[in-house]
């Protein structure tokens, strides 16, 4: 590549950190020259409603894709968990980078962990996946919506509206806010969502030269694990209006995949949970493995939990 590579990025502090991180990788490992193009997306503008009600994850990526389409940028950097399971025609995820901590974090100014929270305490999160898993762990808690970027969410906690909040550790760590984490949930008690903690690089499918060079950044263990996670979500018709968790980790050469599904409308219904483990070596196998985990959830009655179409 002779010209500069332009990265389209959202302008939240986390998105900018992630874009700068990828810029440095491209400069150091691929000797590319890189500039950032910051933009505001619909997802950043709509702060008063739950995302699942206004169109879902695609809200954070659409404007970036338009910039790629129009040639204003070459590459978009996303938190993988915000990337819809099906990309629009003409776009491709070319690389998934090594994953940061995939766990969810418990953040509070008063309590050290979930068990310490008093009966009926108010906990903030807007993720349906976190809501159903929190309800399963502590049915007494009062769970209240909490949106906005990480700084906004921490400020709302500090203003006293919540006894605790739950957010992704990865984001807090990237922004140097690790000291706010009182404890991390294990991936068994609070299964992360597909792709949590990983960064995905999206390009136009016809960008052959760029695709070839970026493929050098793929972290294979993360790539296979997240392909399996995303396949679960895709198979169940994944959208962020679905309280679905899917997290894979390596046990030697085996991939262990844990999944959970709650009912968004009836949060008191029992959480469906399954886990499978097998040797996985190719993307094809990872996708089939994810499909198998989705089938395990269907065998437990997932159909009755999914939104009726
Ligand atoms: N949904 C917003 C979002 N997208 C990515 C992260 C954190 C970083 C990551 O998980 O990669 C967050 C914050 C959160 O869920 O608390």
From the CA of 193, how far away is ligand 1's center (Å)?
Answer: 10
Q: In b/e form, how buried is each residue of 238-273, taking b as 16+ CB within 10 angstroms? A: bbbbbbbbbbbbeeeeebbbbbbbbbbeebebebbb
Query: How far is residue 77's CA from residue 255's CA, in Å, rounded to a whole number?
Result: 26
Substitution candidate for ligand 1 out of 43, 79, 194, 239 with most atoms within 8 A of CB: 79
Q: Is 31 exposed, middle or buried (0-12, 13-18, 19+ CB in 10 A)?
A: exposed
Q: Is the CB of 128 under 6 A from ligand 1?
A: no
Confidence band of 237 (pLDDT split at 50, 70, 90): confident
Fold match between domain 1-99+197-218 and domain 104-184: yes
Q: Is the CB of 43 under 6 A from ligand 1?
A: no
From the CA of 74, how far away is ligand 1's center (Å)?
Answer: 23
Tokens of 238: 């994944």
- Whether the per-residue pLDDT at 267 is higher than 90: the answer is no
**Treating both helix axes as pointing N-terminal to C-terminal, what angle do 220-235 and 283-299 enclose, rounded to 10 degrees?**
40
**What is residue 266's predicted lDDT score, i.e. its pLDDT?**
82
Q: Is 288 exposed, middle or buried (0-12, 13-18, 19+ CB in 10 A)?
A: middle
Q: Does domain 104-184 have CATH number 3.40.190.10?
A: yes
Q: Is the CB of 197 under 6 A from ligand 1?
A: yes
From the CA of 61, how far away is ligand 1's center (Å)?
Answer: 14
Confidence band of 265 (pLDDT split at 50, 70, 90): confident
Dihedral of CA 307/197/77/175: which sign?
Answer: positive
Residue whose CA lies nearest to ligand 1 atom number 1: 82
Q: Is the CB of 81 under 6 A from ligand 1?
A: yes
Confidence band of 57 (pLDDT split at 50, 70, 90): low
**What is residue 239's predicted lDDT score, i.e. its pLDDT?**
66
Looking at the predicted complex, does its ipTM rise above 0.90?
yes
- Whether the per-residue pLDDT at 52 is higher than 60: the answer is no
**What is residue 282's predicted lDDT score, i.e. its pLDDT?**
97
The per-residue pLDDT of the chain, averaged, comes to 92
Catalytic residues: 82
pLDDT tens digits for 119-175? Answer: 999 999 989 999 999 999 999 999 999 998 899 999 999 999 999 999 999 999 999
The percent of residues in the chain predicted with pLDDT above 90, rounded, is 84
The domain limits of the chain are 1-99+197-218, 104-184, 219-301
In the block, tokens 């979500």 appear at 233
How would you classify the pairing of strands 91-96 and 104-107? unpaired
What are the Cα distances from residue 57, in Å, to 150, 181, 219, 242? 17, 25, 24, 12
Q: Is the CB of 196 under 6 A from ligand 1?
A: yes
- Whether the per-residue pLDDT at 272 is higher than 70: the answer is yes
**What is residue 142's predicted lDDT score, i.e. its pLDDT?**
97
Give the lowest-confidence range in 6-10, 67-71, 121-125, 305-309.
Answer: 305-309
> Please, what CATH class does the domain formed by 219-301 belong to?
alpha beta
Query: How far is residue 201's CA from residue 29's CA, in Å, rounded to a whole number?
Result: 15
Confidence band of 39 (pLDDT split at 50, 70, 90): very high
In the block, tokens 């808690």 appear at 141
Q: Is the CB of 175 under 6 A from ligand 1?
A: no
Report the CATH superfamily, name and number, of domain 1-99+197-218: Periplasmic binding protein-like II (3.40.190.10)
């Amino acid at each position: 590549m002779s010209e500069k590579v332009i990265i389209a990025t959202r302008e939240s502090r986390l998105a900018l950190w992630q874009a700068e991180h990828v810029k440095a990788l491209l400069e150091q490992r691929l000797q590319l020259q890189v500039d950032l193009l910051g933009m505001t997306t619909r997802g950043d503008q709509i702060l008063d409603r739950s995302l699942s009600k206004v169109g879902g994850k695609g809200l954070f990526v659409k404007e970036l894709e338009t910039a790629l389409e129009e040639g204003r940028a070459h590459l978009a950097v996303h938190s993988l968990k915000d990337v819809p399971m099906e990309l629009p025609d003409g776009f491709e995820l070319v690389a998934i980078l090594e994953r940061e901590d995939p766990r969810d974090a418990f953040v509070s100014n008063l309590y050290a962990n979930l068990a310490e929270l008093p009966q009926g305490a108010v906990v903030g999160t807007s993720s349906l996946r976190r809501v159903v898993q929190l309800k399963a762990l502590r049915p007494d808690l009062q769970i209240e919506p909490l949106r906005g970027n990480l700084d906004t969410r921490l400020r709302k906690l500090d203003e006293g509206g919540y006894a605790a909040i739950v957010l992704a550790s990865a984001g807090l760590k990237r922004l140097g806010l690790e000291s706010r984490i009182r404890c991390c949930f294990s991936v068994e008690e609070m299964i992360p969502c597909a792709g949590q903690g990983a960064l995905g690089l999206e390009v136009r499918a016809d960008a052959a030269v760029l695709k070839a060079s970026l493929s050098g950044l793929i972290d294979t263990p993360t790539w296979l694990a997240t392909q399996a996670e995303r396949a679960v979500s895709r198979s169940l018709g994944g959208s962020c209006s679905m309280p679905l968790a899917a997290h894979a980790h390596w046990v030697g050469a085996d991939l262990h995949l844990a999944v959970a599904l709650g009912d968004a409308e009836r949060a008191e219904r029992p959480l469906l949970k399954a886990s499978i483990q097998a040797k996985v070596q190719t993307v094809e196998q990872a996708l089939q493995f994810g499909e198998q985990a989705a089938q395990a959830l269907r065998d437990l009655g997932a159909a009755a939990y999914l939104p009726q179409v």
